[in-house]
């Protein structure tokens, strides 16, 4: 969104960029260990491209331990903060781009568990290919992580909506 060729933030009086999505060069380390990559990216899916992409994603997730630290929660809380700080303005225009639910589908375990209560391997990326050779467990895990993130997005959109009703 903020690449020099895009400039989607032009014309706004204020814009807030929640850093760390996907392959954003937000954090420089520490590099994830092999077992961490193996946990989140099944070995049968580990191509050089996926591992490089996923290494960046994991580094950007370090320190996001509570639900409130996740991207969609940060975006919706910043939107509410903006609304509260601009309540006295006669004209308002707020554009929210949460990016979520976008891969990788990192989600607190309790959201994933709503959709998959078995201990399947983690899988948080879309494969963008024929998945007939992918195990049913991996498909179920993919669906659970995605659905869990959609549920978390719904919760945080509800937070924004409820605040809108009160402002």
For residue 117, tell me if it sits in a domain: yes
pLDDT at 67 over 90: yes
Q: Is residue 92 one of the residues assigned to a domain?
A: yes
Model confidence pLDDT, tens digit, residues 78-132: 999 999 999 999 998 999 999 899 999 999 999 999 999 777 888 898 888 888 9
Supply the range of the domain harboring residue 78: 67-166
- Whether residue 45 lies inside any domain: the answer is no
CB neighbours of residue 9 within 10 Å: 13
Whether 54 is in a domain gets the answer no
How many structural domains is the chain composed of? Answer: 1
Contact 76, 156 (CB under 8 A): yes
- Residue 122 located in a structural domain: yes
pLDDT surpassing 80 at residue 8: no
CB 149 within 8 A of CB 64: no
Contacts (Cβ under 8 Å, ≥6 apart) of 59: 26, 27, 28, 29, 30, 31, 32
Q: Quote the pTM value.
A: 0.90
């Amino acid at each position: 969104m903020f690449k020099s060729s895009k400039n989607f933030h032009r014309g706004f009086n204020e814009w807030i960029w929640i850093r760390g999505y996907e392959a954003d060069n937000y954090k420089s380390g520490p590099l994830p260990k092999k077992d961490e990559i193996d946990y989140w990216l099944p070995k049968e899916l580990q191509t050089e491209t996926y591992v490089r992409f996923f290494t960046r994603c994991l580094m950007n997730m370090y320190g996001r331990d509570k639900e409130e630290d996740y991207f969609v929660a940060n975006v919706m809380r910043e939107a509410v903060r903006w609304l509260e700080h601009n309540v006295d303005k006669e004209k308002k225009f707020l554009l929210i781009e949460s990016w979520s639910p976008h891969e990788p589908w990192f989600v607190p375990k309790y959201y994933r568990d709503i959709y998959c209560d078995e201990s399947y391997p983690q899988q948080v990326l879309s494969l963008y290919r024929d998945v007939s050779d992918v195990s049913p467990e991996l498909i179920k895990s993919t669906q659970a992580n995605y659905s869990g993130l959609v549920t978390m997005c719904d919760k945080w959109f509800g937070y924004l909506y409820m605040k809108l009703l009160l402002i």
